[in-house]
Structure 1
Amino acid sequence: MSVADRLVVCASHSPGMMRDVEHVLGRSFRSGLEQVRGMVEEFDPDVIVLFGGDHRRTFRQVVPSFAVALSAGIMAEAGREAGELRVPADRARALADHLLGSGFDITVCRDIELDHAFAQPLHDLTAGLGVYPVIPVAINCATAPLPRPERVLEFGAEVGRFLDGIGDRVLVIGTGGLSHSPPSLEVDTHDMSDAERARIIAAGYAAAEQKIKPEWDKAFLDALSSWDATSLTELATVAHEQAGAGANEVRTWLAAGAAGGGKPFECIAYEPVQKWITGMGVAVSGR
């Protein structure tokens, strides 16, 4: 199996988008997602490898830089019900063994509850959480210290080497970014209650609407379009300072692109949506 049998999709996520049930905002971005969803349906993957971050809800006291889930569910959030992921345990375990054997001291997780970082791309790009088998791969993008972008690229490339040998058509997803700075991630803490999180978000939401950085987003998407690994690494290194705490999530894009063989991406849509406090982008590689 080769990278020709791999489709890579990177897309932003936002709870604000989930709450916008009437689809009032972000119409250009939503149109791009629909286009990419058609690509996914045509590709019809055997399995999805989903690189996602965390918003300090799943990983609190213990925060792994890289983790592979052998079983996982989705927590109820933003009006959506909880659900289960179809994690192929043998495949996920084989990936974990491969990574460990290749020098990545990853964490293995069982029966964890993941949030919208993993749920939203599955809802946006497929017909639901359980349509395809999914291997969730978590990358710490929220709680310092974060893995270096260079190491994230190496990690993604090693996942790609594993995928080369499994004989499946694989959809690789990276989810998060682009520029945004959620108030709850601006607070340097490893743990907070849901009530405290809601209070902090409400107090800082208006300010967060003004923190989208389209110039940084464009620079990142331009580097992605030629798979300029040097520029991507440099931009990810300064993401927090230049594009907000949530921009650290582009580490998942780096991992996904590397797992797809480091091929250039096509930007399908980009739209800064203030009410979602995020620069919303979707890009594909390998089609």
Structure 2
Amino acid sequence: MSVKLICLSHTPLIEFASPPKGIRDTTMKVIHDLAQQVDEYDPDLIITFGPDHFNGFFYDMMPAACVGIRAEAAGDWNYGPGTINTDEETALSLTQSLLNDGLGIACSYQMQADHGVTQPLTFLTGSLIKYPTVPIFINCAAKPLPPMRFATQLGKAVGRYIKTSNLKNKRVLILGTGGLSHDPPTPQMQGANTDTEAFLIAGKNPTADSRNARQNHVVVAAQELNQTESSSLKINAEWDRALMEKYQQADFDYLNAMTDSEISSMGGRGGHEVRCWTAAFAALAEISEYTIQDVYYQQINEWLVGFGAITAKTVC
């Protein structure tokens, strides 16, 4: 049985801001090398664990997690629009398996996946349709959030499914995306004005002007990050590197004990996306022991992210 894992940060600012050339070139080479690994591995299926940034999921019905039976790109940050090549049969079977395991998970025939999923898929495979994919959304932005142990339980249940279903004879790539520390100006329901509250509840399919204005807030936040008046939490490289060590050590006791307040204070609003990395590693660990292959980290203020990547594979 062959299962490969890639956990990779995403940042929509790659095409909108310029870090020092050496940092950009090194980071883009890492992404290019990961894409080559995916091409050589040639997966039969990709299972993604990804967040959303109020582009596809809203408070009108906010699940803790959702499996995309069918999915399309939300179109934010110029990723999409377009249909994601979902494996409907596997997605349905996986959803039933997760429900049988007692997990409160939703499914969607009309998922809109934002750049948290579409950017990594595009970077690593060249498109949204090259490989059959099952996208799994985890709520990392809309309070109340599922606890970290939920991400671990979800990942383990996905790992059990991979191990015991007909996927055991397939090449499966588990892709976790998000994090690490970053603090974008993601709106919150608490204290929101009337217009913001209306958007957070039912803001799907915004006008181009509305989307561009919102995305410009993120660009400005990145530009201000090195300034003393920045409203964003600084990137926390120490926290990021320590967290990456925990994934390499499969220390799920530590990960499960992390609280929302700790993550917010150490990793910022976007730091909660480490739930997706946690689920991905938990899935791999449930299949078998794993070996780490590649580790990369770079603090990139211009991209408003502590940018990390880890690859691993099962030992069986």
* TM-score, length-scaled by structure 2: 0.82
Shift of 1:166: 2.1
Contact 1:45 1:170 in 2 (8 A): yes
Could you tell me which runs of 5 or more consecutive residues in structure 1 were left unpaired when the two chains were aligned: none
Change (3 A) 1:33 1:142: same
Matches within 5 A, 1:181-192: 181-185=183-187, 188=190, 191-192=199-200
Distance 1:162 1:147, change over 3 A: same
Of 27, 31, 34, 2:32 maps to: 34
Counterparts of 1:12-161 in structure 2 under 5 Å?
12-19=9-16, 24=21, 26-60=24-58, 61-161=60-160
Q: How far does residue 233 in structure 1 lie from its aligned partner after superposition?
A: 2.8
The one-letter amino acid paired with 1:55 is H
CA distance in 2, matches of 1:264, 1:181: 31
| d(CA) in 2 for partners of 1:20, 1:160 | 37
Query: Which segment drifts farther, 272-281 or 260-269?
Result: 260-269
For structure 2, the 5+ residue unaligned runs are 225-229
Q: How many residues align?
A: 284
Structure-2 change in CA distance of 1:80 and 1:52 (3 Å): closer
Q: Does 1:227 align with 2:250?
A: yes
Give me the whole-angstrom Cα distance separating, in 2, the residues matched to 1:65 and 1:254: 15
Q: Secondary structure in 2 aligned to 1:154?
A: helix
Match of 1:275 among 295, 302, 313: 302
Name the residue aligned to 2:171.
169
Of 121-130 and 231-240, more deviation after overlay is shown by: 231-240
Q: Which range moved further: 216-225 or 17-26?
A: 17-26
How far did residue 183 of structure 1 move? 0.9
- Answer yes or no: is the 8 Å Cα contact 1:96–1:106 preserved in 2: yes
Task: Specify whether residues 210 and 145 from structure 1 end up closer, same or farther in structure 2 by C-alpha distance, changes over 3 A only.
Answer: closer
Give the conservation status (yes or no) of the 8 Å contact 1:185–1:245: no
In structure 2, what is the Cα distance between the partners aligned to 1:208 and 1:221? 26
Per-residue CA deviation, residues 203-235 of structure 1 (Å, 9 max, x unaligned), is: 644126761110110110111121111223345
Letter in 1 for 2:139: N
Secondary structure, aligned partner of 2:166: coil
Q: Residue in 2 aligned with 1:253?
A: 277
TM-score (norm 1): 0.90
Larger radius of gyration: 2
Question: Residue 109 of structure 1 aligns to which amino acid in structure 2?
Answer: S
**Sequence identity percentage:** 29
